[in-house]
Structure 1
């Protein structure tokens, strides 16, 4: 209702009434009106075909303009000209530019990586170009195959905080998980630890009271919501903060798919067993997550003081092998970092790529990359939910099944419940764990974050976890695709044209 899709439906209804009125009141000028509308629409279509928009989104916009000859064009111009969120785009662009040198890239580390794998070094250079995302050595990584595993370690680490705690999550929901975390945060704030909590405005709209930041302020906790939702007026509704970041004293960080709500730790059963993953970093790479948090926190602040938080002493994990690159993805620039990292891993893969994702709503480029890897002989395996949390994304995912399977991609569905993990592993030597789904919202419309690993000890654990999950899955075949319920297939086919707007 409150997305661009909802706005389109509203405009469709409005247009029907307006056009009906025009036909009634201006019958004698009808040929002129239709002629002007046709020329106007034709000009916009030519412009659209020559624009830099993703080809799949072009098809969607062509359908919108076809259905809404006048208001579809106005909506397209409204969206493409960034009406209403230019200030946000400028603020974020200025902040990324001003903080790009806050964490300099170690030339020695880059030389080591280039000597080991020039392909990965090229990817690292791209990520550094897109923002302040250096590659690090000497960072210890722990992988958590379930939310409840991460939760217990998170409580232990929070209890040890001495200087500051930064938390940025898409969802915060009152219950057992958040209750235990909040108890520690309040205790730490009373001890003089600086505590900041940030959650997305959609969460505030759906789950938390509007005055929740004031309630936490009473406990000594600084709290804010990113981009609170205003129905039909919030012009950057699609640009949600989907990231999950916890930083403690600048030396420990958590990220992954796990939000702060009871279903993520299987205390509440909503869609069967909830399969999610996370990682904990200890060492120099944590500085990047500290900076990412401060950048988001500073969007509506007058100034951004990074120095004191980035200068906290961090003990290098001398025994930790491999390389770590924490990175973020901003929807307000032209770099689709999340998608390009995934595609680079697919294109460089030799033996296998193993993926866990809750949603599969692909643009043409990503679908081609998955198919091409499989057609080259790479074992490409996708694990998706067996029990969906949302019916339309579930139906949309199934529209890709036949094409992927025909190219040799293996698809499995997790029979015990819902997979919310966002995991990529390539050739058992590089991996990504973070918040980035394989859908339009994550790849185009959300602020996201993740950690890329090459040659780190955690990768063996990620692969082992993937293997254990696979044992609990059913494989999707062409026979099961053809036997899918007609309603699911119809829903997917009808909604696919609107997918880039949802």
Structure 2
């Protein structure tokens, strides 16, 4: 395969290139729409004599509306603050986001996909009624998850844990070379470089052999990383490709819901899931934030079916005639505990990712150990963390020591005082950036996936994760946590007191709008 097809040339960064690029044109159209809305607002203000009184009455009505709305209380406080400062524009913006303009069709299509595919994966009743599952309340969790999707609890699945993206990458390349039927990839970030170039070369070779190769990436990649015509380029190599929620010149709440999932399925035999995107920093090449700590799992066996179906549900969202390949696998995997892949959709009103985390915290007996890049908590999750610690559970959270986003870093620090005061241990990874999303508890439960402890992951993104119960690799996950902990600095009263003034001020200022970030 020609090298030009699997290594993307870096685009020029000059101002003229940006102005006349697709991104520049999109931003221009968006700016024009904002200017039109602003002009209409000024026109109403100047033309109607009683506009101020109307605005006041309208704002009071919106306050009553907010108090009776079902949204999270942290979000309510944010909207109340905005309405107090900018009454009429804020109420219009709230109405706009609640109406989901430009996103209703996607929401309806998502429901259709879930309804149409629930029949494909059935829960094995013998698995869910086993004494150890009933005693641990895993059957309750499984039933909850299946209210909004199709997430069976599986046996006969082997799980391998990777403590670094570097480790996962080596195995991923080996597994890709074994593909015979299909390769499905769905990632938040795809970026040029050694990692993606190495993967893409294998994908092109496999496509030439007749393997069905499909790639999805989040539409934001088109703005910052990949050219707009990238799907056409890959089509020349026999690879089907599409962006999810591509950016267009028209304002829409559609852009608020990003595809943050990381799924790779090979032949319905093997699946990869975790925090690792397809970009060099995830394998510690060229990281700007010190050592990049990330994690992933590889599944082999029956549970791979769920990730196959998750991919196809997203792929078929934009297909006129959806085709559902058989999700079954003939792999004879050893019985390695219980595995339950699941996803979280921002369109169904269910906070699946947060609910699973809270379930672990409330049922923990000895410890809950967490790795997350961001800590932007709502009331429910912060209460669950504090309650677990206050009843004697060893709750520890590892966060980045070198942040990728100063605003997120500052917001995380606004929770330090409250959490440490309740007995939660907070640690910062001194060598660099933690991008892992891991919960491990009591040597028997763990979650590895894409779901951060922040508003965007818990409320606004398409996410996925792998729930593990009594699998052998749980000991590997806890060992990795302890190894990572040994490289961390502990947050205590003194470090909080002497925190940089910049982060204290930034955190306190932007915390009022944290649910909108």
TM-score when scaled to structure 1? Answer: 0.94
Aligned to 1:458: 473
Aligned to 2:224: 206
1:92 to 110, 131, 140: 110
- Per-residue CA shift, 1:308-353, capped at 9, x if unaligned? 3314x322313x3210000000000111100000000000001100
- Per-residue CA shift, 1:357-391, capped at 9, x if unaligned? 00000001000000000011100000000000001
The unaligned stretches of length 5 or more in structure 2 are: 1-22
Aligned to 1:343: 358
CA contact 2:159–2:336 (8 Å) conserved in 1:
no
Matched, 1:290 2:308: yes
CA contact 1:15–1:68 (8 Å) conserved in 2:
no
CA contact 1:201–1:226 (8 Å) conserved in 2:
yes
| Aligned CA distance change for structure 1 residues 117 and 65 (closer, same or farther; 3 Å) | same
Distance 2:450 2:410 in 1: 22
Matched, 1:329 2:344: yes
1:492 to 507, 512, 515: 507
1:43 to 43, 61, 64: 61
1:416 to 406, 422, 431: 431
- Per-residue CA shift, 1:441-480, capped at 9, x if unaligned? 0000000000000000010000000000000000000111
Distance 2:363 2:296 in 1: 25
* RMSD value, Cα: 2.1
- Per-residue CA shift, 1:193-222, capped at 9, x if unaligned? 010011000112110000000000000000
Aligned to 1:370: 385
Aligned to 2:85: 67
CA contact 1:354–1:466 (8 Å) conserved in 2:
yes
| Aligned CA distance change for structure 1 residues 231 and 54 (closer, same or farther; 3 Å) | farther
SS in 2 for 1:141: strand
2:331 to 299, 315, 319: 315
Distance 2:34 2:316 in 1: 38
Distance 1:9 1:337 in 2: 35
Q: CA deviation at 1:235?
A: 2.6
Task: Tell me the number of residue pairs that the alignment of Structure 1 and Structure 2 aligns.
Answer: 491
Distance 1:91 1:209 in 2: 27
The unaligned stretches of length 5 or more in structure 1 are: none
SS in 1 for 2:254: coil
Matched, 1:403 2:442: no
- Per-residue CA shift, 1:215-242, capped at 9, x if unaligned? 0000000000001113562431110000
- 1:354-393 matches, within 5 Å, as 354-393=369-408
TM-score when scaled to structure 2? Answer: 0.91
Distance 1:13 1:371 in 2: 45
Distance 1:440 1:11 in 2: 27
- Per-residue CA shift, 1:255-295, capped at 9, x if unaligned? 00000000000011210000000000000000000000000
- 1:98-109 matches, within 5 Å, as 98-109=116-127
Aligned to 1:147: 165
